[in-house]
Amino acid sequence: MRTKVAVIGSGNIGTDLMFKVLRRSDVLEMGAMVGIDPASDGLARAGRLGVPTTAEGIGGLVAMSHFDDIRIVLDATSAAAHKENAAALADTHVRLVDLTPAAIGPFVVPAVNLDAHLDARNLNMVTCGGQATVPIVAAVSRITPVVYAEIVASIASRSAGPGTRANIDEFTETTARAVESVGGARRGKAVIVLNPAEPPLVMRDTVFALIDDPSPVVHAAIRKSVHAMVDTVASYVPGYRLKQEVQITPIEAPVDTLLHPGNRTAPTHQVTVFLEVEGAAHYLPAYAGNLDIMTAAALRVAERMADA
């Protein structure tokens, strides 16, 4: 028997997530699509597909006659809305997968720590930039310590909806924290770029990781680790790929200002990884890889929660 889930948020991310549940999952079943705009395309599409809907938000979901059958709620709203939704569901039986940068629960990046927090009531999917880049930082840090990591996520302006634009600060803060706590960097930084190019470009991500190890053997191990991690992420995000070969170059300029206070390790090399994420176009355009990686990762986590 499949596990019933509800999706909160009938915008682009929530609607794409619904299509992934319907088309790709042998474990999950759509129990409800929840929105606040009766005229939204997501609610209309859900209704045509036979998915129960409500335009009354979280209150409407809890009032549904079959709410007790829903085991997992995937929240694709905003950081502020998720805090209200989590509070409203705190005393219920459901578990939450949070696709916003609210960061109430532990960070989960499937390629890195899929099984680490399966007992938590509320799991956070970090951000699209985090899902794309934290695995790479982790791939480096499992070979050698990462003194500092900086990620730059460039997404098509058209793929940045109101929720993304309203949560820019939360995006950078949450992603940087995940680079450290999940990726393993001693210090992390995140930057997001909304690219207005026409036609829209697919998501591009750059990872810079500073290490203190000049050994060619270690550098070879890093390249192998990164390639293996890319394959792991691509197993659930088919459009995820390296744009160029992994670069490892000596550092010539002083970088003391990048070091964590009290850290006496001076990095000697920079690892640079260029990534591209193309969407699967289940509902969103193929250039919206930033949204696709979030919904694909959330689907993977919800399926694992259902199996646990």
Binding-site residue set = 10-13, 159-167, 290
Structure letter (DSSP) for residue 64 = S
Please confirm, yes or no, whether 128 is among the known catalytic residues.
yes
CB-based contact 306:21 (threshold 8 Å):
no
Q: Helices (DSSP H) in the chain: which residue ranges?
A: 12-24, 41-48, 57-63, 79-88, 110-113, 128-141, 162-166, 168-181, 216-234, 289-307
User: In terms of C-beta density within 10 A (0-12 exposed, 13-18 middle, 19 or more buried), how is residue 188 classed?
Assistant: buried
**What whole-number distance in Å separates Cα of residue 229 and Cα of residue 132?**
11
Residues making up the binding site for NAD(+): 10-13, 159-167, 290
Active-site residue identified among 73, 89, 96, 128:
128
Structure letter (DSSP) for residue 51 = -
Q: Which of 39, 62, 41 is nearest to 31 (CA)?
A: 62
| CA torsion angle 120 178 273 144 (round to 10) | -90
Q: Which of 38, 39, 80, 42 is nearest to 60 (CA)?
A: 38
**What whole-number distance in Å separates Cα of residue 297 and Cα of residue 244?**
23
Structure letter (DSSP) for residue 265 = P
User: In terms of C-beta density within 10 A (0-12 exposed, 13-18 middle, 19 or more buried), how is residue 121 classed?
Assistant: middle
CB-based contact 150:137 (threshold 8 Å):
no
Catalytic residues: 128
